[in-house]
Amino acid sequence: MIRVAIVGGGIAGLSAAYFLARKGADVSVFEQKYLLYGASGRNSGGLTAQFVNEPLIKLALRSLELYDRIQTETGFNFLLRKDGYIKIADEKNEDALKNEVDFQKKAGVNVRIVDPDFVRNLFPDINTQTFTAAAYFADGGVVFPWPVIWGLAKGCRELGVKIYDYTPVRVEVKGNEVLGVRADSELHKADYVINAAGAWSNEISRQAGIELGNRVFREEICVTESLKPYLDPYILDVSTGVYISQSMRGEIVGGILGKEAEEVSVKSSLDFLTAYARRVTELVPKLRGMSILRQWAGAYDVGRNGMPVIGTTKVKGFIQLNGFGRNGMSLALAAGEGVAELVLKGKSRIVQPFNP
Amino acid sequence: MKDRKVVCRCEDLTEEEIIHAIELGYDDLESLKRFTGATTGPCQGKGCLMHIIRILSQKTGKSVDEIGVTTQRQPVNPVPLYILAAKKGDEK
Ligand SMILES: Cc1cc2nc3c(=O)[nH]c(=O)nc-3n(C[C@H](O)[C@H](O)[C@H](O)COP(=O)(O)OP(=O)(O)OC[C@H]3O[C@@H](n4cnc5c(N)ncnc54)[C@H](O)[C@@H]3O)c2cc1C
């Protein structure tokens, strides 16, 4: 039986574990803290396929299918709503948005340019003065990241995967081959080690003697008190990076796209809160009286040229599955499925373009 | 309904539900919080965190120190967006 050790219990690591175990591999997942400690437990759950190259679009479309399938297979409700993902843009960013949509249409994405009134029909409280055009992806939407992780973990355990939480590990290599991972004094031997450590992936890669060079970002986010459900789609303002959606619990979840950081950090700031408050009250003036209940931050890693890094390396058995940036919830399920295929069959078409 | 001991009012969680989650394996505070939603409602744990820790301690035998507390998230009390959005010198 092929033994696989996976570093990182986020969506990428757990997805790979799930698909590997389904095909009979002997899989262990190691998480340094609790499941949900990484970006997979801190994100806004927006699901989209509005990307600017075909390999990413393929991963995203496949991931959308997999959400439905894994929900059924694991009997876990991901609180997934496919009510659409909308990018709005001002005059300055309108042309870029239109070009993007032209490309995406050709790549088979069900997306189109709509005017501000169209968006107001979907969400009456939006201030149509704040943007000039929008790109509407009807099949996108919002998922609640916590049950996604719980559900994957449950599915994994039922397939015999061992999940070790509160267990930081290091990769061990001998010569040009992986031996496994080490937790404290114990070596867990493995034929393959998968680096799914998100923002910590550079460090894990270095332990195998490989410079990965992913960039680390920090992104802040917050929620308001709960309202009755009334905002269906996910809305991203590409002009300012501000985004909002509503959770199934009724909170308005919103943030600002992340910025590159010197190191992995999950500190929150008042600067973020004021910048967010200004823009969100322009976009949706009626939210002015709503209170912020809680804010937090998360860290993710962006691979070279903004692409994920997925595939085998010069160290035999050491596999990269990281660099998902701001889009891991939209991409990583299919990437995990692809990596399982790569490990068990030697190749996978869907992840091939992301070869390290 | 007898013995319905509510421990988290915001999320309407009973002691039984917390115990059930612990028995499912969500037996550390961070996981328990995220699995049940306890401490993440409007009170942000002010009313329920101590109960949750007590139940966890009773069920797992861990001491309160071992269990620790969850990360305390800002803001301490809810702050309205219009206040955060105000610029220096704004009257309203
Ligand atoms: C605020 C915010 C909003 C976001 N919004 C969206 C969105 O709307 N849509 C979307 O698609 N994506 C979004 N993202 C991005 C998404 O969350 C990430 O791309 C995705 O979660 C990455 O998953 P991952 O499994 O690669 O990494 P992670 O979830 O970070 O998992 C990596 C895990 O590895 C563990 N680890 C690290 N080192 C070790 C070690 N030595 N031993 C053991 N374990 C280790 C970490 O603790 C961590 O849990 C957002 C991110 C943030 C922060």
For residue A162, the model assigns a pLDDT of 98
Name residue A45's beta-bridge partners: none
* Residue having the nearest C-alpha atom to atom 22 of ligand 1: A328
- B10 — contact with chain A (CB < 8 Å)? no
Question: Is pLDDT above 90 for B47?
Answer: no
Question: Is pLDDT above 80 for A212?
Answer: yes
**B88 falls in which pLDDT band (50, 70, 90)?**
low
Please judge whether B73 and A268 are an interchain contact, meaning their C-beta atoms are less than 8 angstroms apart.
yes
In degrees, rounded to 5, the angle at the alpha carbon of residue A326 between the alpha carbons of residues A252 and B71 is: 60
Element (H, E) at A171: strand A170-174
Distance CA B87, CA B83 (A): 9
- Tell me the residue type at A102: D
Note the residue count of chain A. Answer: 356
The three state secondary structure string of A104-135 is: HHHCCCCEEEECHHHHHHHCCCCCHHHCCEEE
pLDDT tens-digit series, residues A123-174: 999 999 999 999 999 999 999 999 999 999 999 999 999 999 999 999 999 9
How does the average pLDDT of chain A come out, rounded?
A: 97
Query: What ipTM does this complex have?
Result: 0.84
- Tell me the residue type at A342: L
Q: Which residues of A touch B36 (CB under 8 A)?
A: none
**B2 falls in which pLDDT band (50, 70, 90)?**
low
Q: Spell out a b/e string for A280-319, using b for 16 or more CB atoms within 10 Å of the CB, else e.
A: bbbbbeebbebbbbbbbbbbbbbbeeebbbbbbbebebbb
**B45 falls in which pLDDT band (50, 70, 90)?**
confident
For residues A110, A116, A117, A123, the Cα torsion angle rounded to the nearest 10 degrees is 80
Question: Is pLDDT above 80 for B92?
Answer: no
CA-wise closest residue to A260 among A302, A213, A297: A302
Distance CA A179, CA A192 (A): 8
Residue whose token pair is 């996976």: A6
**B78 falls in which pLDDT band (50, 70, 90)?**
confident
Q: Which residues of A touch B84 (CB under 8 A)?
A: 273-274, 276-278, 292
Is there a contact between A49 and A82 (Cβ–Cβ < 8 Å)? no
> What sign for the dihedral angle of Cα A73, A74, A79, A85?
negative
**B90 falls in which pLDDT band (50, 70, 90)?**
low
Sort strands A192-195 and A3-7 into parallel, antiparallel or unpaired.
parallel
Q: Which residues of A touch B44 (CB under 8 A)?
A: 293-294
Contact A221 CB / ligand 1 (< 6 Å): yes
Contact A35 CB / ligand 1 (< 6 Å): no
Distance CA A329, CA A231 (A): 20
pLDDT tens-digit series, residues A259-289: 999 999 888 999 999 999 999 999 999 999 9
Is the bond preceding residue B75 a cis peptide, omega within 30 degrees?
yes
pLDDT tens-digit series, residues A59-85: 999 999 999 999 999 999 999 999 999
E strands in B1-92 = 6-8, 13-14, 79-80
Question: Is pLDDT above 60 for B91?
Answer: no
* Residue having the nearest C-alpha atom to atom 40 of ligand 1: A168
Phi and psi for A169 in degrees, rounded to 5?
-130, 165
Q: Is A138 helix (H, G, I), strand (E, B) or coil?
A: coil
HSE toward the beta carbon, residue A182, CA cutoff 13 A: 11
Question: Is pLDDT above 70 for A340?
Answer: yes
Distance CA B10, CA B12 (A): 6
Question: Is pLDDT above 90 for B11?
Answer: no
Q: Closest partner residue to B84 among A37, A150, A273, by Cβ?
A: A273
For A278, nearest residue in chain B (alpha carbons): B85
pLDDT tens-digit series, residues A317-328: 999 999 999 999
Sort strands A162-164 and A26-30 into parallel, antiparallel or unpaired.
parallel
Please judge whether B85 and A274 are an interchain contact, meaning their C-beta atoms are less than 8 angstroms apart.
yes
Beginning with the edge strand found earlier in the chain, give each strand of the sheet holding A170-174 in spatial order: A170-174, A177-183, A186-189
pLDDT tens-digit series, residues A20-62: 999 999 999 999 999 999 999 999 999 999 999 999 999 999 9
**Cβ-count burial of A138 within 10 angstroms (0-12 exposed, 13-18 middle, 19+ buried)?**
middle
Contacts 24+ apart (CB under 8 A), A180-188: A180/A3, A180/A5, A181/A5, A181/A7, A181/A30, A183/A30, A188/A5, A188/A28, A188/A30
For residue A108, the model assigns a pLDDT of 96
Mean pLDDT of A187-195: 98
